[in-house]
Amino acid sequence: MSQGPSQHLPTVGKSVPRADGTPKVIGTARYVDDLPAMPGELHGATVRSPVPRGILKSIRFDPNFDWSDITIVTAEDVPLNTVALIAEDQPVLAARHINHAYEPIVLLACADKRRVLLAKNAVSLDIEALPTVLDVHESLKNTHTVWGTDNIQKRYLITKGRADTEDSVSAIDAVLAECEVRVSGSYSSHHQEQLYIEPQGVVAWWDESGVHATGSLQCPFYVHKAFLKTFGEQPSRIHITQAVTGGGFGGKEEYPSIIALHAALLSKKSGKPVRMIYDRKEDIEATTKRHPAFCEIETGCDKDGKLRAIKMRVLMDGGAYLTLTPVVLSRGALHASGAYEWEHARIEALALATNTPPNGAFRGFGAPQTIWAIERHIDKVAAVLGMDPLELKRKNILKLGSVTATGQVLHTSVAGVECLEKARAVSEYDRRRKAYSEKQGRIARGIGAAVFMHGAGFTGSGERYLKGKAAVDLLPGGRLRIRTASTDIGQGTETVFRQIVSDAAQVPLSDVDFAVPCTTHVPDSGPTVASRTVMVVGSIVEAAAREVGDRVRKEQQASGGTFAEAADRLLAREGEVTSLLQYSPPSYIQWDDQHYRGDAYPCFAWACFIAEVEVDRETFEVTVTNFWSATDVGRAINPTQCRGQIEGGALQAIGWALFEELVWDKGIIKNPRMTNYIVPTALDAPPFHTVLVEEPFSFGPGGGAKGIGELPMDGGAPAVAAAVEHALGIPMDDLPLTPERLFARSASGAQT
């Protein structure tokens, strides 16, 4: 046992092994489907709409099927038929109006897993089909109104400089007209499926203490809120627990509320525990995906490359219901002008409804879509100016003291230039860019860069409203226990939190426990999203650990003995020794939600990603041959895990750019399987050369950590596209860059 500060070896900054590593590798970790069957347990299944829009006329249950052991739940059985989130537009089960394919209509449960599948086939739906709206352009026309009065789910307007006036369109047009060089373009990005390894799943049951749900999820308190609304139970009678979770990437932020409500409804009606586990097909079809986006940009600059003004319109496809779309759109809009300083800006962002499954949270949360657009656009400006794109970015990048499009003055932890220069040097960008610009053979090489930043934590005053809490308890023997609703979904929260607590309380890492996130036992730390876990919740945990550690040491100083002995004395005397703290955001943050102006984020993490590719000019297969990055994380609590986040996120972005494509046919997904929704394998991963830059954020834990979860998803696609564009000499403005699409855009494809 530690005697005091002098003997504590710091763990922050060390790549200690993951706490969850061994059980996951040897197979003892219990994911939700591994949990032992409860007595009398039933298997749940969902009957979904086969059409994207229509009126449900009737549900027919085949009279020749034996329904005696099947529990049936329809909209009539739902106490309050809405999924509590931002709006209340989404029903738990569709009652009459069907707004997207795969919308849930009937729930079934049976002890026999095979019989429940047969029962599904014995349900037929009589649906009168209605005209559909399947993309943002159709939605904007509002020929068919499928949401609200005009299909517009949310709109934001950000203005700066001369555009910050009533008639912002005329004003920005006037500024653009005065600019020496004007460039315009449009850039589109597509759906992306999270494809976490473990599909969605939950087990729910009711007993004398209320309703319970244990599942694969990111945000137990979201599910708690949904149960509160739908079942009208007392908060203390709702118990939501996170099981070991095999990946989320945002896909298990809001969706688990729905599958958990479904299981709990079946359990309520049958009086038995119900297990619902989606297979891959159902998961890809029914759950949320990344919002497709269409961005139009017009910019003005000086002949020497000094950027002056930007006019941008972002259209995001929200899908059939609002879910988290306003927040995704917000983050997209706030990152739309990129890592560059503009004197004048007008950014308009609209989310539009379509008859497709609701799009939702996905790593990056709207920012990858707008950063895709702005990075491609700046590369286009460089081409028009005849400048090197990275040089143009270097010239205009936000620095300490710069003012963002929302008027935020960057006064702390700004490392854009440093990341750019480090990545540029380590990749030998200038030499390669020049070399690959020479005439090429069948295998063409190219190199391209993306420079970007990502706001850490909730937008604007979000953290102030949220009041996230976390606790550290003292346990017998001087052990500490972290209690937080921040979940480890594979990203390493548990390990990093234990490191932070170990150092803050100055106890050995092995003396720190991490409580299973269960709404009954942990405080609401806010959701596990927005790159906020380490920076925000980590700082609460750090303060709480420091407080508990100090109390024990004070006792130690007063009455002697080891840390453990002092802890036991304290516990014997006080019964319970806990520090439960609430987050207080840096006081300088000022945010005007009305006008979307002010400090959008407490700070930003910065990065420069550089991709090198080889393109087969006959088959159009793209191979990423090298991937360099320099990323400012504030402080790397666990450098190996930090690199893992960066490289994993970059690979996910490479997948989005080169491989992944949902194939739609009239609102139906044609490739809902891992064999045909193509994500990169380990063999498709390039060699990663990852440089960590540490520009501390004084309010971050462990000496200045910032958020890192989402940032790496932002820059991979534009960097790869820039490299492919460099290799082929064909504009790459639309994702994805599959060989078929490159072929169609190429001369040889055009001739066919």
Binding site for another protein (CB under 8 A): 113-114, 117-118, 121, 279, 281, 618-619, 621, 659, 663, 670-671, 675-676, 678, 680-684, 739-740, 743-744, 748-749, 752
Looking at residue 198, what DSSP letter applies? S
Structure tokens at 726: 């460099």
Question: Is 21 or 749 the residue whose CB approaches another protein more closely?
Answer: 749
Where does residue 6 rank: exposed (0-12), middle (13-18), buried (19+ CB within 10 A)?
Answer: exposed
Structure tokens at 117: 């599948």
Shortest distance, position 118 Cβ to another protein, whole Å: 5
Q: How far apart are CA 352 and CA 369, in angstroms?
A: 15
Beta-carbon count within 10 A of 411 CB = 12
Shortest distance, position 399 Cβ to another protein, whole Å: 40
- For residue 540, what is the enclosing H or E element? helix 538-559
Question: Is 199 or 707 the residue whose CB approaches another protein more closely?
Answer: 199
Looking at residue 20, what DSSP letter applies? T
- Secondary-structure percent of the chain, ordered helix, strand, coil, rounded to 5: 35, 25, 40
Question: Is 234 or 675 the residue whose CB approaches another protein more closely?
Answer: 675
Please list, in sequence order, all residues whose beta carbon lies within 8 angstroms of the beta carbon of residue 610, skipping any fewer than 6 positions away.
423, 424, 427, 429, 447, 448, 449, 450, 627, 628, 629, 719
Shortest distance, position 200 Cβ to another protein, whole Å: 15
Shortest distance, position 615 Cβ to another protein, whole Å: 14
Structure tokens at 19: 């706490």
Q: 377 with 452: CB under 8 angstroms?
A: no
Shortest distance, position 43 Cβ to another protein, whole Å: 9
CA angle 544, 692, 290 (to 5 degrees): 80
Shortest distance, position 34 Cβ to another protein, whole Å: 17
Shortest distance, position 134 Cβ to another protein, whole Å: 18
Question: Is 307 or 737 the residue whose CB approaches another protein more closely?
Answer: 737
Shortest distance, position 672 Cβ to another protein, whole Å: 10
Question: Is 578 or 746 the residue whose CB approaches another protein more closely?
Answer: 746
Question: Is 302 or 740 the residue whose CB approaches another protein more closely?
Answer: 740
Place of tokens 């304290």: 570
Distance, CA of 7 to chain centre: 39
Question: Is 283 or 473 the residue whose CB approaches another protein more closely?
Answer: 283
Q: Provide φ and ψ at 36, rounded to 5°.
A: -60, 150
Question: Is 558 or 683 the residue whose CB approaches another protein more closely?
Answer: 683
Shortest distance, position 57 Cβ to another protein, whole Å: 25
Beta-carbon count within 10 A of 80 CB = 13
Place of tokens 């047009």: 173
Q: 353 with 87: CB under 8 angstroms?
A: no
In the Cβ-directed half-sphere of 228, how many Cα atoms lie within 13 Å? 13
Question: 434's torsion region: left (phi>0), alpha (psi -120 to 50) or beta?
Answer: alpha
Question: Is 106 or 544 the residue whose CB approaches another protein more closely?
Answer: 106
